[in-house]
Amino acid sequence: MDKGVNMFLKKPIIYTVHGFGKKLSHEFDPLCSYLKKKRYEVIQLDLYDLNNEEDIHYADWIKKAETGLQEVLKRKRPVIILGFSMGGVIASYLASIYPVQSLILCAPAFQYLDLPKIGAQGVKFIKNLSKGNESHSISSKRTKAFTEVVSNYKNSIEHVNCPVLFLHGSDDEVIPVDSSRNAYQLVSSKKRMILLEGAHHRFLYDGQMEKTAFVIIEQMIKGNLI
């Protein structure tokens, strides 16, 4: 076997879980491009179809994420799960029940604003969370599914046994930093939290903090942080 191919097969597969909003798995495009240049295989999938108004059931989103991971694990290579925002909550659930090498959480949405109680601020929150392709709108039913994901799976982080990296922007305008800080305290396995000073919620693709975040993520993948 070619030496380069052999080295590639020894590297972990990065399985990504996107957040709530309109960009879906494209949130990871810049990171995917960066990691592919480093000869990592990155898996991206969409948890729901923006064009399907009936695709509003959180259990279906969870099943899709779980089925995708099961297929990757069949390949008998190490797997690292990387979740962003809502995807961080789902990624934690997956890592709590499947044998993965490590878990990387970027701005995980373990906490979110209480939308009904905050009125106009709630509308602003959803606009911030789902900002992206304006040709699609995020329905209230799909927003409800987001809150159900968080409510039903936020405690999964307590049952994760693999090493966990929390990466959060200090100026996150969507998910409070305490979402990561509080979840960090619940992890009993090896862990590390890194606060990106000045970074906003979309630091994986906003063109401002990408380089710094990608280097940190790569070091975690290599096992150099924990």
Q: Which token pair is 105?
A: 């959480």
Domains contained in the chain, number: 1
What pLDDT tens digit does each residue of the chain (226 aa) get?
555 555 656 899 999 999 998 999 999 999 999 999 999 999 999 999 999 999 999 999 999 999 999 999 999 999 999 999 999 999 999 999 999 999 999 999 999 754 444 344 444 555 555 555 444 456 789 999 999 999 999 999 999 999 999 999 999 999 999 999 999 999 999 999 999 999 999 999 999 999 999 999 999 999 999 9
- The CATH number for 111's domain is 3.40.50.1820
d(CA 11, CA 97): 22
Pick from 92, 84, 69, 73: nearest CA to 160: 92
Whether residue 226 is contained in a domain is answered as: no
Distance CA 51, CA 100 (A): 32
Domain residue limits at 180:
3-221
Report pLDDT for 20.
95
Question: What pLDDT, on the 0 to 100 scale, is given for residue 118?
Answer: 36
Identify which of 128, 107, 108, 132 has the alpha carbon closest to the alpha carbon of residue 209.
107
Residue 81's nearest CA partner among 12, 35, 23 is: 12
Q: Is residue 40 part of a domain?
A: yes
d(CA 150, CA 86): 7
